[in-house]
Amino acid sequence: MPSLFSLHTFKFTNKTILSVIILFIVCMTVILFGVLRVSYTQPINLDSPKLIQLKKGDSLYTVCNRLIEHDYINDCLGVKVFSKINPVVGKVKTGVYALTPGLALNQFVANLNEGKEQQFSFTLLEGDNIYQVLDKLKHATFLVNDIKTMPLPQLSQKLLLTSDTPEGWLYPDTYYYSAYTDASALLLRAVNKQQEILAKLWQQKQAGLPISTPYEALILASIVEKESAVAAEREIIASVFHNRLNKKMRLQTDPTVIYGVWDEYKGDITRKHLKQTTPYNTYRINGLPPTPIANPSKASIEAVLHPASTEYYYFVASGNGGHVFNKTLADHNKSVQDYLNKSK
């Protein structure tokens, strides 16, 4: 029969062993959790940004294994365990995602969970015409060109416009989109923005202008856009065209001629072009052309609706990026000769 002292010692030893076991379990749990945490938060190892595409049916494990195959990460242990603990982690959304140097694996997984796809950009430049825009769309990354075979009237209908062409209706700006967005959806955003801006500015227009509709303002703004190399001259250039319209003078502006012969234009306007009768040759037609000739900026629309007060009827390039403005044809002809002398 053990002594009281021996029994006491036995009980103490059992408690000690239990404590050691508990401590061991806690330590192992901490170590295991640390290992999993390191695995789950490991940085993605690559030198430059990459894109990765998740298609329908791809799982988080599929993506993770693909990263291992490319040596972007070391293992998927953390991903597998944490996705079991929290099922939300295992839910990924299809799309195209960005992999960037140093991005933590868990941050990338969070992007997949939330559908934070890589955003691509498409820029509509001030003064670009519809033909230039359609050509740029052919080269836009991950944009579905659902309009590449559409004639302009059909494209206009697709964009919910009543005109026969979307010319002028695309607001110049940079638009961001996710992969596999339709080109028509992107352009519709540009149309909506241009319509909103034009409607607002039309309500604030100066009284007594020789234009009677917002569409006429858009047409004239597109001409001002093409003629305005210097922003500070927009209102003055607009005033010249208003003055000519008020006097029933032809606008006689080269950009309209170029637009009318766009298919054959090679960068230089010729005498043949100037003499050729088209609906856009303002040397041959009275008043405005039938449609805009480019996509005007907000600034050009504002200039048309709030032109400067001048007595100018003519302008010609100064040779320094801007223009020389004149009231009379005689002064204009002299300015033209001065420009030609500078160009020699």
pLDDT digits (tens, 9 = 90+) for 105-161: 999 999 999 999 999 999 999 999 999 999 999 999 999 999 999 999 999 999 999
CA–CA gap between residue 185 and residue 177 (Å, rounded): 10
Say if residue 7's pLDDT is above 90.
no
Tell me if 318 sits within 8 A of 339, measured CB to CB. yes
Report the pLDDT averaged over residues 216-226.
Answer: 98
b (16+ CB within 10 A) / e for 78-94: bbbbbbeeeeebbebeb
Range with the poorest average pLDDT among 32-46, 86-100, 124-138, 190-204: 32-46
Whole-angstrom Cα Rg for the chain: 34
What is the reported pTM? 0.84
Please choose, from the candidates 188, 209, 212, 213, the residue with its C-alpha nearest in 3D space to the C-alpha of residue 303.
209
Task: Give the pLDDT band of residue 169 (cuts 50, 70, 90).
Answer: very high
* Cα distances (Å, whole numbers) of residue 196 to 162, 164, 182: 16, 20, 22
Q: Which residue has the higher pLDDT, 301 or 5?
A: 301
Report the pLDDT averaged over residues 302-321.
Answer: 94
Written as six digits, the tokens of 145 are: 């060109």
Say if residue 26's pLDDT is above 90.
no
Say if residue 11's pLDDT is above 60.
no
Q: Is the dihedral of CA 143, 149, 155, 157 positive or negative?
A: negative
Pairing of strands 143-144, 181-182: parallel
* Cα distances (Å, whole numbers) of residue 256 to 50, 125, 330: 44, 18, 24
CA–CA gap between residue 296 and residue 299 (Å, rounded): 8
Looking at residue 277, what is its pLDDT?
A: 93
Choosing among 3.40.50, 2.60.220, 3.90.320, 3.30.1490, the CATH entry for 50-114 is: 3.30.1490
Please choose, from the candidates 292, 217, 214, 211, the residue with its C-alpha nearest in 3D space to the C-alpha of residue 246.
211
HEC states along the chain?
CCCHHHHHHHHHHHHHHHHHHHHHHHHHHHHHHHHHHHHHCCECCCCCCEEEEECCCCCHHHHHHHHHHCCCCCCCHHHHHHHHHCHHHHCCCCEEEEECCCCEHHHHHHHHHHCCCCCEEEECCCCCCHHHHHHHHCCCCCEECCCCCCCHHHHHHHCCCCCCCCCCCCCCCEEEECCCEEHHHHHHHHHHHHHHHHHHHHHCCCCCCCCCCHHHHHHHHHHHHHHCCCHHHHHHHHHHHHHHHHCCCCCCCHHHHHHHCCCCCCCCCCHHHHHCCCCCCCCCCCCCCCCCCCCCCHHHHHHHHCCCCCCCCEEEECCCCCEEEECCHHHHHHHHHHHHHHHC
Looking at residue 266, what is its pLDDT?
A: 84
Domain boundaries, the chain: 50-114, 120-197, 201-343
Tell me if 210 sits within 8 A of 245, measured CB to CB. yes
Please choose, from the candidates 83, 70, 99, the residue with its C-alpha nearest in 3D space to the C-alpha of residue 39.
83
Q: How does pLDDT run across 41-83, given as a tens digit for each residue?
A: 889 999 899 999 999 989 999 999 999 999 999 998 888 888 8
Q: Is the dihedral of CA 61, 65, 67, 68 positive or negative?
A: positive
Please choose, from the candidates 195, 201, 191, 223, the residue with its C-alpha nearest in 3D space to the C-alpha of residue 124.
191
